[in-house]
Amino acid sequence: MKFAKIVGLGKHLPPKKLTNSDLEQMVDTSDEWIFTRTGIKERRIAEKGVSASRLAEEAARIALKRAGLKAGQIDVIIFATITPDSQFPSSACYLQDALKARRAAAFDISAACAGFVYGITTAWQFIAGGLYKNALVVGSEVLSTITDWDDRSTCVLFGDGAGAAVLTESSSAGVLGSYLGADGHEADLLKLPAGGSRIPASHESLEQKLHTIQMKGNELFRFAVRVMVDAAHQAMGQAGIQSGDIALLVPHQANTRIIDAVSKRLQLPREKVYVNIDKYGNMSSASSAVALCEAWEEERIGKDDIVVLDAFGGGLVWGSTVIRWTE
């Protein structure tokens, strides 16, 4: 069994901001409601035609530079997204071409907001098993393209962005443990119903807005807290660490009230929990990726720190990864 560590992080957020006061002009909502219920102040929106792979390319270039690796040295690209460039080819293949990462295998994974954790875990296992040496994992979303801008219960929540991480084989353990979970029985709580083989695109599917996010927020909230706490405990158990060893929890950014409830149950004080939802809203797979990158950029993570990723999303899926920072 070989070890893997993260050697480069990058992020890219489209420049255009959509504030809560902008949303007040679009639907029946208020800055006060959005901020107190979710913690969100503003989010980023990609320009028309900017795809998930395009956002990811910017983030990946930064991560590769920081890792000191050329794109040609990457063995595999794992692209987490629920807003792929197209059904196929995968966004990973578009990214492989844009980066000229010619020898990289490339594929997408669909694990919604837990996509980055699923991706990091997959990359870790590829490296640990000896198949690959260098992996690029991205979480990239253009959620603005699947948002119903007339539905105040969802349109205030989501934003666009991308984050990337380069993992490489190492002589000591960076990734210490990981846990992934799923419950397809609860798929109806959060979904984009049409556009696949179950409900192919049609005039009816468009009229019924079945190509936009549908969510039962209240039920998800309770589920999220329970499974995020459980996932973190499972991953910590596998890594052989306790809550007190954690230097920073980097949770999925869906709602500050979810983050607070999870942190409390994990007995972590606020200063050990990274939150940036106020600036970006919920970016699904990109949330954890961007949060991890920003936490590192802001020097909230230092050498030998134990960092825990913890995420949850549509599927339903969830997961947590424990990392010892080696740089």
**190 binds ligand UT7 per the rule CB under 6 A:** yes
The DSSP code sequence of 51-66 is -HHHHHHHHHHHHHHH
Stretch that binds ligand UT7, among 88-96, 124-132, 148-156, 271-279 (CB under 6 A): 148-156
Residue with smaller CB distance to ligand UT7, 67 or 224: 224
Residue 17 beta carbon to ligand UT7: minimum distance, rounded to whole angstroms: 18
**224 binds ligand UT7 per the rule CB under 6 A:** yes
Instruction: Give the chain's length.
Output: 327
Q: Which position has the token pair 């692209």?
A: 79
Q: Which position has the token pair 């920072």?
A: 325
Residue with smaller CB distance to ligand UT7, 74 or 189: 189
The single residue of 252, 255, 276, 293 carrying the catalytic annotation is 252
CA–CA separation, 185 and 238 (whole Å): 26
**100 Rama class: left (phi>0) / alpha (psi -120 to 50) / beta:** left
Task: Give CA 42 to chain center in angstroms.
Answer: 18
Single residue of 115, 139, 313, 319 touching ligand UT7 by CB under 6 A: 313
Residue pair 20/34 in contact by the 8 Å Cβ criterion: yes
How many residues bind ligand UT7 (CB under 6 A)? The answer is 20
Q: Tell me the residue number closest to ligand UT7, measured at CB.
A: 217
Residue 282 beta carbon to ligand UT7: minimum distance, rounded to whole angstroms: 5
Restricting to residues 113-142, which ones interact with ligand UT7 according to CB under 6 A? 113
The single residue of 20, 134, 255, 282 carrying the catalytic annotation is 282
Residue 278 beta carbon to ligand UT7: minimum distance, rounded to whole angstroms: 14
Of 64, 93, 318, which is closest to residue 167 (Cα–Cα)? 64
Token pair in block for residue 33: 């409601």
Residue 37 beta carbon to ligand UT7: minimum distance, rounded to whole angstroms: 5
CA–CA separation, 294 and 299 (whole Å): 8
Token pair in block for residue 173: 């353990």
The single residue of 93, 113, 155, 293 carrying the catalytic annotation is 113
Q: What are the φ and ψ backbone dihedral angles of 30, each rounded to 5 degrees?
A: -145, 155
Stretch that binds ligand UT7, among 136-144, 152-160, 179-187, 242-250 (CB under 6 A): 152-160
CA–CA separation, 187 and 197 (whole Å): 16
- Bridge partner residues of 158 (DSSP): 282
Stretch that binds ligand UT7, among 56-64, 77-85, 151-159, 230-238 (CB under 6 A): 151-159
Task: Give CA 249 to chain center in angstroms.
Answer: 14
Residue pair 308/241 in contact by the 8 Å Cβ criterion: no
**38 binds ligand UT7 per the rule CB under 6 A:** yes
* Interface pattern 73-112 for ligand UT7 (x via CB under 6 A): ----------------------------------------
Residue with smaller CB distance to ligand UT7, 165 or 224: 224
Query: Is 113 an annotated catalytic residue?
Result: yes
Residue with smaller CB distance to ligand UT7, 64 or 289: 289
Of 170, 132, 142, 199, which is closest to residue 8 (Cα–Cα)? 170
Residue 261 beta carbon to ligand UT7: minimum distance, rounded to whole angstroms: 11
Task: Give CA 103 to chain center in angstroms.
Answer: 25
Catalytic residues: 113, 252, 282
Give contact residues for ligand UT7 (rule: CB under 6 A): 29, 33-34, 37-38, 113, 152-153, 156, 190, 217-218, 220-221, 224, 254-255, 282, 312-313
